[in-house]
Amino acid sequence: MKRLVLLSAICLACSAGAMGQTLGYVLSSQPVVFTMPEHPQHASQTPLAPEQSLLEHSEPVWGHGERPLWEFMPEPPFVCLGDVARSLRQEHATAKKATRVWSNEE
């Protein structure tokens, strides 16, 4: 009984798809020639716009006696990647281990 219902559902779905293809757009036998649209205005040379200053109403700023911030900041200590890996391995070895092990077996 289950197979019959499944088979009828599949047949119904296939027939609906076939009907959707045939009832939609129907192709005609007349060829359609594709033509590109034409643009009569072509590129031509024109003079450039006059030069404009981007700094119209600004004045130059000069600082006296100021030092950049990078001179005051200490450089971070360089630690090679191998030393970082060794320290992480040591932390992992000395870390507290679990006392109980749970297993979800049914």
pLDDT at 83: 95
Q: Is the pLDDT of residue 92 over 90?
A: yes
Indicate whether 6 pLDDT > 80.
yes
Write the pLDDT tens digit of every residue in 39-91. Answer: 777 777 888 888 877 776 777 777 777 777 778 888 888 999 999 999 999 99
Which pLDDT score is estimated for 17? 74
Residues 91-103 have a mean pLDDT of 87
Q: Is the pLDDT of residue 23 over 70?
A: no
3-state helix/strand/coil string of the chain: CHHHHHHHHHHHHHHHHHHHHHHCCCCCCCCCCCCCCCCCCCCCCCCCCCCCCCCCCCCCCCCCCCCCHHHCCCCCCCCCHHHHHHHHHHHHHHCCCCCCCCCCCC
Task: Tell me what pLDDT residue 91 has.
Answer: 94
Q: Please report the pLDDT score of residue 21 as a whole number.
A: 67
Average pLDDT, stretch 91-99?
A: 89
CA distances for 77 relative to 57, 74, 80, angstroms = 46, 9, 10
pLDDT recorded at residue 106: 63
